[in-house]
Amino acid sequence: MSNTNTPPEHRERDTSHTTGHEVLAGVVQVRRGALKALLWQRARPPHPNRWALPGGRLHSDETVESSIRRQLAEKVDVRELTHVEQLAVFSDPERVPGNRVVATAFLGLVPCDTDPELPGDTAWHPIEALPETAFDHETILLTARERLRSKLSYTNIGFALAPPKFTVSELRDIYSAALGYRVSATNLQRVLSRRGALEATGETVAAGPSGGRPPALFRFTSRDLQITDRFAVLRPPG
């Protein structure tokens, strides 16, 4: 018997099609003082001309992480990711039109001294002023931003956004852009040094136009992700 008169919320979903699986990456970088995300502009329906996260279908012979690294290298020429981690699985049956597709999303970080060569349909966009995005990609990207902000509080993940060597002022600007509020350079240096995450290189850079002591160069003690203070939270000034 047909169920065309059954209310939509009570109808059985068509299960005759296989569920697809895609991997997507929220790739972010601090560029020109702002936290920006890498997006490409769709040319075909659905959602033509909207901006989307890089990624694509998972091949049967690859893991989700190897898949996203492959696709970033092939599609948007991003190979210099300093950190990649699985973010979440997005499985709303209606997240994309047509057959159901489940997405495994990743957070990927690019250091601020790297400038990948991008195709013409791909660009960096400030997360605070995103263009119109496809499907649920804005939600995924905002989830990636919150994951990054959270981990900046209790891990050394700043290494993945920073160059190998930097002044405290430069690191302060990176943290400020990622967290969305102004961070004190003095407090940041004290906190990271106390946690053993930061060390002086013994080198300096030339003093600025106003003169004074040449700024010291620092580096992260490790470029692998480590929990440095499980209960710490970096909060905006009250």
Q: What does the pLDDT read at residue 2?
A: 45
The 10 Å CB-count burial string (b at 16+, else e) for 128-153 is eebeebbbbbbebbebbbebbbebbb
Q: What does the pLDDT read at residue 162?
A: 98
Q: What does the pLDDT read at residue 13?
A: 45
Query: Per-residue pLDDT tens for 80-127?
Result: 789 999 999 999 999 999 999 999 999 999 999 999 888 899 999 999
- Pairing type for strands 20-31 and 101-109 reads parallel
Instruction: Determine contact, residues 102/21, Cβ cutoff 8 Å.
Output: yes
Q: What does the pLDDT read at residue 152?
A: 96
Q: What does the pLDDT read at residue 33?
A: 95
> Closest Cα to residue 126, out of 53, 47, 38, 190?
38
Domains along the chain?
8-149 (3.90.79.10), 155-220 (1.10.10.10)
Q: What does the pLDDT read at residue 112?
A: 95
Low-confidence ranges of the chain (pLDDT < 70): 1-17, 76-77, 209-211, 232-233, 235-238
